[in-house]
Amino acid sequence: MNPFSSGTRLRDMIRAIRACKTAAEERAVVRKECAAIRAAISENDQDYRHRNLAKLMFIHMLGYPTHFGQMECLKLIASAGFPEKRIGYLGLMLLLDERQEVLMLVTNSLKQDLNHSNQYIVGLALCALGNICSAEMARDLAPEVERLLQTRDPNIRKKAALCSIRIIRKVPDLAENFMGPAASLLKEKHHGVLIAGVQLCTDLCKASTDALEYLRKNCTEGLVRILRDVSNSPYAPEYDIAGITDPFLHIRALRLMRMLGQGDADSSEYMNDILAQVATKTESNKNAGNAILYECVETIMGIEATSGLRVLAINILGRFLSNRDNNIRYVALNMLMKAVTVDFQAVQRHRTTILECVKDSDASIRKRALELVFLLVNDNNVKSLTKELIDYLEVSDQDFKGDLTAKICSIVEKFSQEKLWYIDQMFKVLSLAGNYVKDDVWHALIVMISNAPDLQGYSVRSLYKAFQTSNEQESLVRVTVWCIGEYGEMLVNNVGVLEMEEPMTVTESDAVDVVEVALKRHSSDIKTRAMSLVALLKISSRFPPTSERIREIVMQHKENVELELQQRSIEFNSIIQRHQNIKSSLVERMPVLDESTYIGKRVGSSQATLPADKSSRPTSGSPGASLKLPNGVAKPPPAPLVDLLDLSSDDVPAPTSSATDFLHDLLGGDLMSPSSSGGAGTDILMDLLSIGSPSAPTDVSIRNTISSNQGNAGEPKTAPASVMDLLDGLPSNSSLPGDKNPIYPSITAFESSTLKVTFSFTKQPGKPQNTMIQATFTNLSSNTYTDFIFQAAVPKFIQLRLDPASSSTLPASGNGTITQMLSVTNSQHGQKALAMRLRIVYKVNDQDKMEQGQINNFPPGL
Amino acid sequence: MIHFVILISRQGKVRLTKWYSPYSQKERTKVIRELSGLILTRAPKLCNFVEWKGYKVVYRRYASLYFCMGIDADDNELEILEIIHHFVEILDRYFGSVCELDLIFNFHKAYYILDEILIAGELQESSKKTVARLIAAQDSLVETAQEQANSISNMIAQATK
């Protein structure tokens, strides 16, 4: 015997490995075996090749690297004998996957084996192909597989059918080739082939709509017949499972029916009877029967079924829902989610059971039930549902709390009709699970509170009470601190007490205590502490007697390691000490945060769509509250800054209008006079959005100071003029000279080597904002221009109207001109001068040309 | 479709894996590790389905082995339970009261059987008898080939002695 061959048999090696007590021992044994195998491979050992491969496969299953054995698989596959091929193909499927290039080398062997005379070898090849072929291999070998779909041997036929499924998945274009053979497979009698054939048809329908049409036309009858036969067939021991003949065939046929009947009334009608029969006849005491019923219900929901059939389906689901078996209940919840779209009322009837499922001990069921509950919420039941969910929130598991909290918050937001109820629920959620509440949720809450002046007193008092009991919930602390800062005097003076409130007296120092606690807790993070500092500043202004105490508290953070807190502490201290006079105006009550703007900025939610017609308020996204400003100084309410950011992003669905894009937004654009100081000019022109209604003059100033221009669909808001003054760090617009001067010189708006454009102006007396411009285009080249189109773009506060041009052909060398009238209205006449960008497109010698430029030399006073 | 079949023991050792979707080696180990953690820690009375990364994994415990199959989200879970049972019954018939040791020492035969039941992640044959017949036929082919090889090598060995 060859001294280098691996003498151990497979069994012995396995035994040896299992006998190892430690991982190190096991590694040693494996290393020894691998070395022996490698030696054998390099020697090209024939005799023990397939034993070596078996060993290699076992080692692979243990998790060790085995790529040196890949070529062995190929050699075994190429051998002539059946045992070698068998183990070779197995090794191939185990050790390689479709993404490796080595796989391509097998293609030739596969091709030969597919044509082998031994049916079992053909079967091996089909199996390997069906499990791991790549797209190229699929393309190469598809014709062989097609041919094999029609052999005599049912074993080969069924394998070929399944192999075709893989081919179609990898190369959907080949679907058409398999349509005909697949349809004929449905006429088989052999169950194995039938199952494979039905599955092939299902995948064909998924892959190509042509196939779907073809099969729908030709195979619906056959399919119904198959199902009928197998449903009515007598006891067949070979296929019987739990008293039902071949449930697998039932299920596959039902699934194909669903694909064929979807959206097609005729086929659906044809299927009604057999579906009703299966739904009523199938026994549901064993898993097999339930599996069939499940598939049947799915199919009924999927096709255009009659209402009677739908009622049947919902009843089955109801039965499933009250089954004690967890699997069945899980499946029922799953199905009910789809049934909600079909028959909302029927699902509502099961609401209580579903609520029970939310509290189930099984995590999978809980998750499904919660999603289903979310779909079922409507205006009528939202209050009771929310109450139940919040009660459950108290006792639920930690890992479930996050999901549950998120869902409760979105339900409350979407369906709240009264602010009081919304605020109440949110306070409860914050007290119970504040740590799981996401930031945008409590931001929304703050926006809501600021919009409800009559409830602010109530809010701050409730929060004060809640804080006493549950101050470990971070979000609760933050909201409390903010509210006390804003509405502290309502707390102390019992402003706006609602009827159901109990009387409560809170002194000023109590209020300060709360914020101090929040500030000093170990578990508070930086954001909370920062907010607390701001709140303290506000309180010191609202309750002057507490100023000194507050100053001391604030000073304690003077040397805090966090830069943010240190900065705030020092600045606030200085404000309290030295700037008493401006302190009160600094920390005035915040203006109402505009809900619609805020909500408009939040990105779409991730929840399932609701059947109720609620104008969906998208959730999540950037905060509207001012609290998160990183700059520590308590500037005057920055909220309008946020609103102004909205302004600069106007309601035009245009893409972020950077310079390159604005030219697309022509026609009806506004003419604008740039502030003649140069720098601002380009910025303004950069941000042209044509269709925006000319908003308040703040637009331009904002645009200059905030160059980021988001372009999302916020609503324009008339910002208070005072804020503009604050932020108007603009280079002052040149005050324009008296505008009654009717004579404006013509200008050369644009001149290049091939084109010249001149503008001449007229103004109507008494309408200083309107200007009529006559544009004259002259062709300076020696070619005639055709399809001449002039376009102009103007900034927002100018309106532009273009009249049709005199012609669209411009003769060469100035032999003729095109004239066009423009009329502009400058809504900032007197403050800003005109500015315009123009673009001209034309054809010369059948080539498209484009020229563009900017006009900066408008006469002042336009 | 079924994306993968994994058999794990109670201690987390892998006894059989079959992948019908492309997974690289690293991804495979990751999947196995995560699923082991997820499934082995589940209490017995809970339902047999877990949702994991957009797939559903259907599992069932037979003695000391967990049979897990990963499927698409819209597949019929109850049917997969039946397929698992189908597989186990065929194994049982083949090995005669199969136990985990059988599957350890004869893993290649377990793979052969799996290949007669599933191809491309879909069910191939619903009749246990047919599967058993096919496996038996192939086994006998192997045996005859081995006998032939033995007799030839015997002849050669004798001839060259």
Boundaries of domain holding B43: 2-160
Whole-number pLDDT of residue A648: 39
Stretch A457-480: mean pLDDT: 81
DSSP state letters, A407-450: HHHHHHHHH--SHHHHHHHHHHHHHHHGGGS-HHHHHHHHHHHH
Q: Is the pLDDT of residue A630 over 50?
A: no
For B132, nearest residue in chain A (alpha carbons): A238
Angle at B94 between CA B88 and CA B100, to 5 degrees: 55
Closest approach of chain B CAs to the CA of A545, in angstroms? 58
List the 69-98 stretch of B: residues with Cβ below 8 A of A.
76-79, 81-83, 85-86
Q: Tens digit of pLDDT for each residue in A281-312? A: 888 888 899 999 999 999 998 888 888 888 88
- Residue in chain B nearest A248 by alpha carbon: B126
Q: Which of A89, A62, A59 is nearest to A77 (CA)?
A: A89
Nearest CA-CA partner of A195 in A236, A247, A243:
A247
Distance separating alpha carbons of residues A512 and A509, to the nearest angstrom: 5
What value does the mean pLDDT of chain A take? 77
Q: Which residue of A has its CA nearest to B121?
A: A131
Q: What sections of A434-555 are H helices per DSSP?
A: 439-450, 453-469, 474-493, 508-520, 526-542, 547-555
Torsion of CA A187, A193, A198, A200, to 10 degrees: -120
State residue A613's pLDDT score.
Answer: 35
What are the tokens at A588?
């005035």
Compute, in degrees rounded to 10, the torsion defined by CA atoms A825, A830, A831, A832: 50
Distance of CA A301 to the CA centre of its chain: 27
Compute the radius of gyration of chain B from its Cα atoms.
19
User: Degrees (nearest 5) of the Cα angle A784, A787, A788?
Assistant: 80
Q: What residues in A contact B125, CB-CB < 8 Å?
A: 158, 191-192, 195
Predicted TM-score of the model (pTM): 0.67
Q: Are strands B49-52 and B14-19 parallel, antiparallel or unpaired?
A: unpaired
- A47: nearest CA partner in chain B: B149
Amino acid A284 reads S
**Which DSSP symbol is given to A854?**
E
pLDDT of residue B138: 94
B116-146 pLDDT, tens digit per residue, is: 999 999 999 999 999 999 999 999 999 998 8
At residue A377, φ and ψ (nearest 5 deg) are: -70, 130
Structure tokens at A199: 């599955």
pLDDT for A721 beyond 80 = no
C-alpha dihedral (A54, A60, A62, A63), degrees to nearest 10: 180
* Whether A331 and B77 lie within 8 Å, measured CB to CB: yes
| A193: closest CA of chain B, how far (Å) | 8
Q: Report residue B46 as tokens.
A: 């809970």
Phi first, then psi, for residue A790 (nearest 5°) are -110, 135
- Residue type, position A262, single letter: Q
> B123 and A62 in contact by Cβ < 8 A?
no
- Count of A–B CB contacts within 8 Å? 158
Q: Which residues contact B116 (CB under 8 A, 6 or more apart)?
A: B124, B125, B131, B134, B135
User: Angle between the A547-555 and A526-542 helix axes, to the nearest 10 degrees?
Assistant: 160
Q: pLDDT tier at A1 (50, 70, 90 boundaries)?
A: very low
- pLDDT on residue A251: 94
Contact yes or no for B108 and A54 at CB 8 A:
yes
Asked whether residue A682 carries a pLDDT value surpassing 50, the answer given is no
To the nearest whole angstrom, how far is the Cα of A602 from the nearest Cα of chain B?
Answer: 26
Q: Are A663 and A837 in contact (CB under 8 A)?
A: yes
Q: Which amino acid is at A402?
A: G
Average pLDDT over residues B22-38: 90
Per DSSP, A610 falls in state: P
Q: What angle do CA A559, A564, A568 make, to 5 degrees?
A: 75
The answer to whether A690 touches A661, Cβ cutoff 8 Å, is no
Amino acid at B40: L
Structure tokens at A303: 């096709």
Confidence of residue B70 (pLDDT cuts 50, 70, 90): very high
Strands B55-62 and B49-52: antiparallel
Q: How many CB atoms are located within 10 Å of the residue A426 CB?
A: 26
Dist. CA A176–CA A579, nearest whole Å: 82
User: Three-state DSSP class for A836?
Assistant: strand
The single-letter code of the amino acid at A12 is D
Cβ proximity of A238 and A183 under 8 Å: no
Q: H-helix or E-strand containing A389?
A: helix A382-395
β-strand A672-673 against A244-245: which pairing, if any?
unpaired
Q: Please choose, from the candidates A483, A480, A504, the residue with its C-alpha nearest in 3D space to the C-alpha of residue A494.
A: A504
> B109 vs chain A: nearest CA distance in angstroms?
10
Q: Render pLDDT for B2-21 as a digit per residue (tens, 0 to 9).
A: 999 999 999 888 999 999 99
Contacts of A97 in chain B (CB under 8 A): 19, 22-24
For residue A597, the model assigns a pLDDT of 65
What mean pLDDT is reported for chain B? 91
Identity of residue A661: D
Angle CA(B146)–CA(B152)–CA(B155) in degrees, nearest 5? 140
Q: How do residues B92-104 score in pLDDT, each as one tens digit?
A: 999 998 999 999 9
Residue length of chain A: 862
**CATH number for the domain including B124?**
3.30.450.60
More confident residue, A565 or A128: A128
The average pLDDT across B27-49 equals 90
What's the CA gap between A121 and A154, in Å, rounded? 14
Non-local CB neighbours of A372 within 8 Å, separated by 6+ positions: A333, A336, A337, A340, A354
**Residue B141 touches chain A, beta carbons under 8 Å:** yes
A38-42, A259-263, A647-651, B135-139: least confidently modelled range: A647-651
Range A96-111 average pLDDT: 85
- Residue B68, phi then psi, degrees to nearest 5: -120, 140
Q: Could you count the other beta carbons within 10 Å of the beta carbon of residue B140?
A: 10
> Which CA distances in Å does A617 have to A414, A444, A607, A650, B6?
7, 11, 11, 19, 44
Longest CA–CA separation in chain A, Å: 117
Tell me the pLDDT tens digit for each residue of A53-83.
Answer: 999 999 998 888 888 888 888 889 998 889 9
> What pLDDT score does A678 carry?
38
* Min Cα–Cα distance to chain B from A825, Å: 57
d(CA A762, CA A139): 73
pLDDT in tens, A746-779: 888 888 878 888 888 887 777 777 888 888 888 8
Tokens representing A626 are 């001012």
Cα–Cα distance, A746 to A792 (Å, whole number): 18
Q: What is the pLDDT of residue A684?
A: 42
Amino acid B6: pLDDT: 95
Q: Spell out the alpha helix ranges (H) of A43-170.
A: 49-62, 70-78, 82-95, 106-114, 119-132, 135-148, 154-170
Q: How far is A287 from chain B (nearest CA, A)?
A: 7
Quote the longest CA-to-CA distance of chain B: 67
**Best residue in B116, B125, B146, B152 to probe A by mutation, most A CBs within 10 Å?**
B125
Count of domains forming chain B: 1
Which chain A residues touch B130 with a CB distance below 8 Å? 192, 238
State the Cα–Cα distance between residues B26 and A816, nearest whole angstrom. Answer: 74
Tell me: the pLDDT tens digits for A161-182? 999 999 999 999 998 889 989 9
pLDDT at A541: 79
Inter-chain CB proximity A364 and B81 less than 8 Å: no
CA gap A342, A363 in Å, rounded: 27
